Structures are given as structure tokens and as C-alpha cells.
């Protein structure tokens, strides 16, 4: 490290030069901004001059980050400023987070360019003489948390502020705003006041969050929580006869959509027939690992091309939380929305999309449906899970949450799932006994590790099943979607016949029972590995069937014919079956812990390996 190559110095110099000139640019812009704000009468004692630096020069009202490199806050409250807001100059300070100009006499409009201040979290312009419409671009400030425009002379309709899902405070009292109040996410807001404006129409569903004190002095507002109820069945406007042009457009849209859909299905059918003929690549499984099943998702999950955005998310705005992964650094929620998506599967709990983002990377996005937990809790839960790493558990790369929407992003695994391996198209390849046993061991160990690490937090997998076990590039099984679901396992409930059991378990609630649901899910995976049968198929219930079969003593009949013909040891298959039966015991208390399960299965695996060594 004693000699630095000359080219490094050269690059450093260029770099320094660039950053320097950028800062000069910011300095100039900020001075221009203050000039506009104060009618070009900048008080020299404030230090805002070209020969000093906004951060190092301690400009009045300016706060910078710890390293004094970028401007974070500009607070110029109550300073008799009488000019206008020059947002395009201001927003050259790219990292500005807080703008506070309360109690001055600033006039005219807030310019559209305010949206260039992308990092803004707080805007306070209360007590000025701003007028005109609020710019539509305001709704693109995705990081905005608090917006106070009260005590001004703003007019016109509100921009699409509910789009900003992180907004917690909106104060707009004492203006001339009109139009209807949009449906904010009121349960997220801690402050809301639109009193003394000229809003009209019904008050949106407040979900009990605010009282009439937030809506005073708007004579044309109606509905709860105001005493004036809205006119019943608002404007039917005699539209029943004949179609309005709007309706015609709408129906035309439906017809078009239908046509596109029919063409699409036809196209799919034709294509599927073709691929059926042309597909026949058998991957050779000569390595001791399992052979690759065709990753074609044939299990009926409808595949269709459409963007996630088109499936309707109003809050397509707030930011994606990227979990310390270099793979998707810089990935934005917008990128996900824009990228073409393919529906991989859909279930009661949500849908799964394959998404190709711009730089050619393929991701899987899990969209969770109807999970009534707060964003706060979801976030902390995801972060806790992220802290626990196991090579056989697929880590989430990023997640996104708003009240309506919860998305979790994973890296796409091209080799499909255990479900496909077991039940997918069998192109002549086999899934031998020792591979199945290895898979069982890997899953048990990974699950055991996760349960131990996350026991205190009460976070179990919640929805363990063969389609959530993905095969990575080495054909090792990886548990996916860990912790994305809270109890509510159909199979589990259907097997828990005694209602006393069920209610008892529910009373105990949360952690304990969820971990036991995982054990059940694991047991079912073992049954799938042993029988090669689908868990649920037209009323057939695998776990129940196996329990019955064993009780009736036709145990051998349950095993996958492929295993029998391969000559797998019946003794060890029966041993594994016994573990599976323990795991799927209808009574959660009777099920072993996953650590005990892992020990049992390892014993079977060791016996298998021992036999391979001893049998020539
Ligand atoms: C610029 O402001 C600094 C204080 O930040 C002050 O020391 C300096 O004299 C000012 N320069 C001019 C030309 O006003
Ligand atoms: C603002 O102007 C008023 C009168 O013009 C003056 O009394 C007051 O001190 C000024 N305030 C500031 C902070 O300069
Ligand atoms: C507010 O704006 C209206 C026009 O929209 C104007 O007539 C009125 O004078 C303004 N009030 C103030 C206090 O600036
Ligand atoms: C308030 O809005 C109504 C229409 O909703 C309009 O007729 C009225 O003139 C407005 N009043 C003011 C003071 O802007
Ligand atoms: C209303 O609040 C309840 C509980 O706070 C929540 O479950 C429900 O989803 C909310 N409804 C809307 C429309 O936000
Ligand atoms: C909203 O603002 C009005 C006018 O300033 C005030 O009277 C009212 O108390 C405020 N409401 C709330 C909930 O703070």
C-alpha cells in the first residue's frame, strides 16, 4: 500500500473535481432559491453567500448530514419572507428531506418542480399566502410523511395524495380547497384536518380514525361523522335509459378484453400442443443427486402474461425495502411494477409471479392476500426472518408493504419445486429413494434451525408444503416463503376432527400451534415423498388416507410404486412412514418437535448409508 498507481490518483482527482463542482452548483441554486423567497434581499448575516459552503459555512436554517456533505433540512420559519418558492432551484439539493417555511408571507403557487425533491419527507408551509392549485406532482413524493399546507389560500381539488402510502399527517385547514375528499388510508394517518375549506360530497370511510373536528366549516360535506347525512342513493341521474358515452366505452373495453382473452387461450392451447410434441429432454441424473424434472409448470396453474401493476394496486408508490442483498441493490418498487410478470400460481393466500426486471434478472414476487397485520409488524417480522440464514432456506431479497398490499421478492429458482419433481411430467427420469431421503433430511435440518432461531419471536413457516420447497441450481431443496403466513392450514383443520381440540389450539393461539402446524406440513411432505401421491386431489386427502391404510394394515400398499420397483428398503420406508404419522398426528401436542424429527430422520439416513456400504 505504499505506492499508489498514478492512474488511481488521476481518477481520484477527476472524482474530487466532479463532486466539488456539483456542490458549487447546489450552493448557487440555494442562493437563487433564497433570493426568490426574499425578493432578492438576502440578509447578509444569514451567511448564504457564494464564498461559503451551505454546510461548513453554517448557513442560517440549513442542517446537513453528519459528514457535512449534503443538505438535509431547510427551516426558515417566521422570517418575513415575502417572495415565491423556486422549487427547481431548491431541488438541486437532492437530499433535502425537510422543508419548513411556516409563518412567512410567501405567495403564488407551489411549482410542479417540487417533485424533483424526491427525498422530501416533511413539507411545512403553514401560515403563508400560497394560492392556486396544489401541483399534481406532489403525489409523486413517495417519501412524504407530513404535509402541512394549512392557513394559506390554496384552491382547487386535491392531487392524488392517498397514493403516498407513508403519509401520516395531512393538515390543510383554512384554505379554499374544493371537490371531494379522496379515500385516504385513514388508519395510517395520525393527523388529518381539512376544516374550513370548500370540500363537498360524502366523507370517505374514516374507519373510526377521526372526528368531525377534522371536517368543520365545509358546508357541502355530508355523512359520518358530521350530523348531516348524505342524500340517499346519490345521483342516479336517469341513466337507466340508453347508455352514456362512458358506459359505451366501458362495455367496449369489456368486449375487447374478452376477445383478447379468448385469443390468448386459443394461442396457449395451440402452443401447449406443440410443446408437448417437442418436449422430451431428459436430464441425465447420473450424479447421485436427483435428476432435473421439467420445470414447466404443468400443474394446471394458469400461466398468463401480465404486469403486477395491472392487477390493481392503488398504493403503487412507497418504497421497497431491500434486504442487504447485492443482487437487487437499487431495485425500486416501480421497476417491479413495470416489469413483465408471469403468473406462476395462485392460492387462497396469494399469488406468485415470475418477474423479469430490466437488467435481465429474474425474480419471483409473492403477493400476499388478506393478511390483516400492520405494516409495522410485517416489517419487523421480515427483518427478523432475514437475520436468520440457512443454506436450505431461500432468503427474501426485498419486500414491500402497504395496508392493502404485501409483496416479498425472491430470486427465481429455475429447477422448480419438490411438488413438480414428484408430480410433474415424468419424462422417464426417476426420483430415487436415497435422493428423497436426502431431501427429507435437508428440509428437517433447515426447519429445525429456523424454529430454534425464531422460536422466541414465534415465527414459524406457517405454510409448509411441497410447492414451497424449491430446488436450487445444485438440486438441493430450499424452503421458500418462510414466515409469510400465519396458521390456517386447511389440511391441519380437516384432520383435527374433535372440535374441542381445535378450539383448544386456537385458545393457545400464536406461536406454539404455528410451529406444530409446520410439523404437520412437514409430515405431509414425507407422505408425498413416500407415496408419490398428491396431497389433495378431488376430495382425496393424503394424510387421512395413509392413516386409514396403516390402521387397516395394508401399509405396503401406500408406498410409491417407483420406490418398490427400485428395490428401496421397505424397513426404512416403514420407519420414515412412522415419522410421518407422528408428524401428522391430529393432536398438535402429540406431534414431535422438528428437532426430534431431524434426529429420527438422520438415524434412518445413516442406516441407509450404512447398508449401502455393507451391501456390495
Ligand atoms: C459569506 O458568509 C460568511 C459566513 O458564512 C462570511 O464569513 C463571509 O464574510 C461572507 N462573504 C461575503 C462576501 O459576504
Ligand atoms: C418582520 O417584520 C416586522 C415588521 O415589518 C418586524 O417587526 C419583525 O421584527 C420582522 N421579523 C423578523 C424575524 O425579521
Ligand atoms: C384568496 O384567493 C382568492 C381567489 O382565489 C382571492 O380573491 C382572495 O383575495 C385571496 N385571499 C387572500 C387572503 O389572499
Ligand atoms: C364552494 O363550492 C361550491 C360548489 O361546490 C361553489 O358553488 C361555491 O362558489 C364555492 N365557494 C367558494 C367560496 O369558493
Ligand atoms: C378498518 O380498521 C380495521 C381495524 O382497525 C381493519 O381491520 C380494517 O381493514 C379497516 N378498514 C379499512 C377500509 O381500512
Ligand atoms: C382543525 O382545524 C380547525 C381550524 O384551525 C380547528 O378548529 C380544529 O380544532 C382542528 N381539528 C383538529 C382535529 O385538530
Q: What is the pLDDT of residues 437-482, one digit of tens each?
A: 999 999 999 999 999 999 888 899 988 999 999 988 888 899 999 9
The predicted pLDDT at position 270 comes to 57
For residues 614 and 616, give the distance between their C-alpha atoms in angstroms, rounded to a whole number.
Answer: 6
Q: Which of 526, 506, 509, 505 is nearest to 604 (CA)?
A: 526
CA 106 to ligand 3 center in whole angstroms: 14
CA 207 to ligand 5 center in whole angstroms: 6
Q: What is the pLDDT of residues 411-431, one digit of tens each?
A: 888 888 999 888 876 555 678
Which CATH number is correct for 316-411, 3.90.25.10, 3.30.200.20, 3.40.50.720, 3.30.1360.120? 3.30.200.20
Q: What sign has the CA pseudo-torsion 186, 189, 194, 199? A: negative
pTM of the model: 0.47
The predicted pLDDT at position 440 comes to 95
Q: What is the pLDDT of residues 191-213, one digit of tens each?
A: 999 999 999 999 999 888 899 99
Q: Does 281 sit in the ligand 5 pocket, CB within 6 Å?
A: no
Q: Does 63 sit in the ligand 4 pocket, CB within 6 Å?
A: no
CA 79 to ligand 2 center in whole angstroms: 7
CA 81 to ligand 2 center in whole angstroms: 10
Whose Cα sits closest to atom 8 in ligand 3?
153
Q: Does 6 sit in the ligand 5 pocket, CB within 6 Å?
A: no
The predicted pLDDT at position 425 comes to 63
Q: How far is CA 336 from CA 4, 294, 317, 383, in A?
A: 42, 27, 11, 21
- Rounded CA Rg of the chain: 31
For residues 601 and 444, give the distance between their C-alpha atoms in angstroms, rounded to a whole number.
Answer: 8
The predicted pLDDT at position 261 comes to 61
Q: Does 52 sit in the ligand 1 pocket, CB within 6 Å?
A: yes
Phi and psi, residue 408, nearest 5°: -130, 135
Given a cut of 90, whether residue 537 has pLDDT beyond it is no
The predicted pLDDT at position 267 comes to 60
CA 59 to ligand 2 center in whole angstroms: 20
Kindly write down the DSSP assignment for every residue of 144-163, as one continuous string.
--EEE--SSEEEE---SGGG
Q: What is the pLDDT of residues 65-122, one digit of tens each?
A: 777 778 989 999 999 999 999 999 999 998 899 999 999 999 999 999 999 998 899 9
Helix pair 433-453, 570-583: axis angle to 10 deg = 30
Q: Does 161 sit in the ligand 2 pocket, CB within 6 Å?
A: no
181 vs 545: which has the higher pLDDT: 181
Q: What is the pLDDT of residues 553-566, one digit of tens each?
A: 777 788 988 888 88
Give the least confident one: 123-132, 241-250, 291-300: 291-300
For residues 371 and 349, give the distance between their C-alpha atoms in angstroms, rounded to a whole number.
Answer: 8
Torsion from C-alpha of 10, 12, 15, 21, nearest 10 degrees: -90
Task: Work out which ligand 2 atom sits closest to the CA atom of 78.
Answer: 13
The CATH code that applies to domain 22-222 is 3.80.10.10
Is residue 212 within 8 Å of residue 229, measured between CB atoms?
A: no
For residues 355 and 361, give the distance between their C-alpha atoms in angstroms, rounded to a whole number.
Answer: 8
Whose Cα sits closest to atom 9 in ligand 6?
213
DSSP state of 395: P
Rounded to the nearest integer, the mean pLDDT of the chain is 78
Residues 559-588 have a mean pLDDT of: 89
Cβ count near 394 (within 10 Å)? 22
Q: Which CATH superfamily is domain 418-614 in?
A: Transferase(Phosphotransferase) domain 1 (1.10.510.10)
Q: What is the pLDDT of residues 483-527, one digit of tens each?
A: 987 654 444 333 333 333 333 334 344 445 788 999 999 999 999
Which secondary structure element, helix H or strand E, spans residue 341, and what is its range?
strand 341-347
Given a cut of 80, whether residue 395 has pLDDT beyond it is yes
The cell numbers describing 51, all together, are: 464564498
The predicted pLDDT at position 612 comes to 58
User: Domain residue spans in the chain?
Assistant: 22-222, 316-411, 418-614
Task: Work out which ligand 2 atom sits closest to the CA atom of 80.
Answer: 1
Q: Which of 363, 475, 361, 480 is nearest to 411 (CA)?
A: 363
Measured from the alpha carbon of residue 194, the closest ligand is 6
Q: pLDDT band at 259, cuts 50/70/90? A: low
For residues 536 and 41, give the distance between their C-alpha atoms in angstroms, rounded to a whole number.
Answer: 77
Is residue 534 within 8 Å of residue 541, measured between CB atoms?
A: no
The predicted pLDDT at position 254 comes to 62
3-state secondary structure of 565: helix
Q: What is the pLDDT of residues 288-331, one digit of tens each?
A: 333 333 333 333 333 333 344 434 343 444 567 777 566 666 77
Measured from the alpha carbon of residue 180, the closest ligand is 4
**Mutation to probe ligand 4, out of 131, 155, 180, 198 (largest number of atoms < 8 A from CB):** 198
Q: Does 220 sit in the ligand 4 pocket, CB within 6 Å?
A: yes
Task: Work out which ligand 5 atom sits closest to the CA atom of 187.
Answer: 14
Helix pair 433-453, 510-531: axis angle to 10 deg = 170
* % pLDDT > 90, the chain: 38
Task: Work out which ligand 6 atom sits closest to the CA atom of 211.
Answer: 13
Given a cut of 90, whether residue 160 has pLDDT beyond it is yes
Which secondary structure element, helix H or strand E, spans residue 222, and what is its range?
strand 220-222
Residues 226-254 have a mean pLDDT of: 58
The predicted pLDDT at position 436 comes to 92
Q: Does 79 sit in the ligand 2 pocket, CB within 6 Å?
A: yes
Cis ω before 225 (30° cut-off from 0)? yes
The cell numbers describing 382, all together, are: 421480515
Task: Work out which ligand 3 atom sits closest to the CA atom of 129.
Answer: 14
Is residue 180 within 8 Å of residue 202, measured between CB atoms?
A: yes
Given a cut of 80, whether residue 59 has pLDDT beyond it is yes
Amino acid at each position: 500500500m505504499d505506492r499508489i498507481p498514478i492512474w488511481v490518483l488521476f481518477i481520484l482527482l477527476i472524482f474530487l473535481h466532479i463532486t466539488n463542482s456539483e456542490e458549487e452548483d447546489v450552493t448557487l441554486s440555494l442562493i437563487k432559491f433564497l433570493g426568490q423567497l426574499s425578493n432578492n434581499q438576502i440578509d447578509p448575516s444569514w451567511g448564504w453567500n457564494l464564498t461559503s459552503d451551505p454546510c461548513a459555512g453554517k448557513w442560517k436554517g440549513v442542517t446537513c448530514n453528519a459528514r457535512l456533505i449534503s443538505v438535509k433540512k431547510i427551516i426558515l420559519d417566521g422570517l418575513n419572507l415575502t417572495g415565491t418558492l423556486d422549487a427547481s432551484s431548491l431541488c438541486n439539493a437532492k437530499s433535502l428531506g425537510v422543508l419548513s417555511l411556516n409563518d412567512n408571507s410567501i405567495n403564488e403557487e407551489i411549482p410542479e418542480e417540487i417533485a424533483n425533491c424526491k427525498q422530501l419527507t416533511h413539507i411545512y408551509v403553514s401560515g403563508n399566502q400560497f394560492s392556486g392549485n396544489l401541483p399534481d406532482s406532489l403525489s409523486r413524493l413517495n417519501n412524504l410523511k407530513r404535509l402541512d399546507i394549512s392557513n394559506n389560500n390554496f384552491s382547487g381539488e386535491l392531487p392524488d395524495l392517498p397514493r403516498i402510502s407513508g403519509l401520516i399527517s395531512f393538515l390543510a385547514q383554512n384554505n379554499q380547497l374544493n371537490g371531494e375528499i379522496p379515500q385516504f388510508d385513514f388508519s395510517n394517518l395520525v393527523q388529518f384536518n381539512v376544516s374550513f375549506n370548500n370540500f363537498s360530497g360524502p366523507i370517505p370511510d374514516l374507519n373510526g380514525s377521526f372526528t368531525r373536528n377534522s371536517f368543520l366549516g365545509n358546508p357541502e360535506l355530508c355523512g359520518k361523522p358530521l350530523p348531516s347525512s348524505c342524500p340517499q342513493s346519490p345521483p342516479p341521474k336517469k341513466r337507466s335509459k340508453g347508455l352514456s358515452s362512458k358506459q359505451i366505452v366501458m362495455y367496449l373495453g369489456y368486449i375487447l378484453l374478452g376477445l383478447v382473452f379468448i385469443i390468448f387461450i386459443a394461442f396457449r392451447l395451440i402452443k401447449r400442443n406443440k410443446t408437448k410434441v417437442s418436449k422430451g429432454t431428459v436430464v441425465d441424473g447420473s450424479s447421485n443427486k436427483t435428476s432435473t424434472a421439467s420445470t414447466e409448470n404443468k400443474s394446471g396453474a394458469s400461466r398468463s402474461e401480465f404486469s403486477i401493476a395491472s392487477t390493481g394496486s392503488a398504493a403503487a408508490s412507497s418504497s421497497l425495502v431491500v434486504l442487504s442483498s447485492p443482487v437487487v441493490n437499487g431495485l425500486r418498487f416501480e421497476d417491479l411494477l413495470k416489469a413483465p410478470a408471469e403468473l406462476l400460481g395462485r392460492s387462497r393466500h396469494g399469488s406468485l409471479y415470475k418477474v423479469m426486471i430490466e437488467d435481465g434478472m429474474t425474480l419471483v414476487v409473492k403477493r400476499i392476500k388478506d393478511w390483516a397485520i400492520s405494516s409495522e409488524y410485517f416489517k419487523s417480522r421480515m427483518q427478523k426472518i432475514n437475520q436468520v440464514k440457512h443454506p436450505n432456506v431461500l432468503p427474501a431479497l426485498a419486500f414491500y408493504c402497504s395496508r392493502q398490499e404485501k409483496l416479498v421478492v425472491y430470486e427465481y429458482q429455475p429447477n422448480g419445486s419438490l411438488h413438480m419433481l414428484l408430480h410433474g411430467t415424468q419424462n422417464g427420469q426417476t426420483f430415487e429413494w436415497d435422493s428423497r431421503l436426502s431431501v427429507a433430511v435437508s428440509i428437517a435440518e433447515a426447519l429445525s434451525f429456523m424454529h430454534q432461531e425464531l422460536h422466541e419471536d414465534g415465527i414459524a413457516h406457517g405454510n409448509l408444503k411441497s410447492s414451497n420447497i424449491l430446488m436450487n441450481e445444485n438440486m438441493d431443496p430450499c424452503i421458500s416463503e418462510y414466515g409469510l403466513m400465519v396458521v390456517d392450514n386447511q389440511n391441519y383443520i380437516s384432520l383435527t376432527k374433535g372440535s374441542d381440540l381445535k378450539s383448544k389450539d386456537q385458545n393457545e393461539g400464536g406461536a406454539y400451534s404455528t410451529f406444530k402446524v409446520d410439523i404437520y406440513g412437514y409430515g405431509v411432505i414425507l407422505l408425498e415423498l413416500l407415496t408419490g401421491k398428491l396431497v389433495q386431489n378431488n376430495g382425496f386427502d393424503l394424510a387421512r388416507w395413509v392413516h386409514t391404510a396403516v390402521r387397516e394394515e395394508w401399509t405396503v400398499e401406500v408406498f410409491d410404486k417407483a420406490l418398490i420397483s427400485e428395490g428401496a428398503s421397505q424397513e426404512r420406508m416403514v420407519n420414515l412412514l412412522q415419522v410421518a404419522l407422528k408428524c401428522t398426528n391430529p393432536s398438535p401436542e402429540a406431534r414431535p418437535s422438528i428437532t426430534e424429527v431431524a434426529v429420527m430422520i438422520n438415524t434412518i439416513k445413516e442406516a441407509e448409508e450404512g447398508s449401502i456400504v455393507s451391501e456390495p
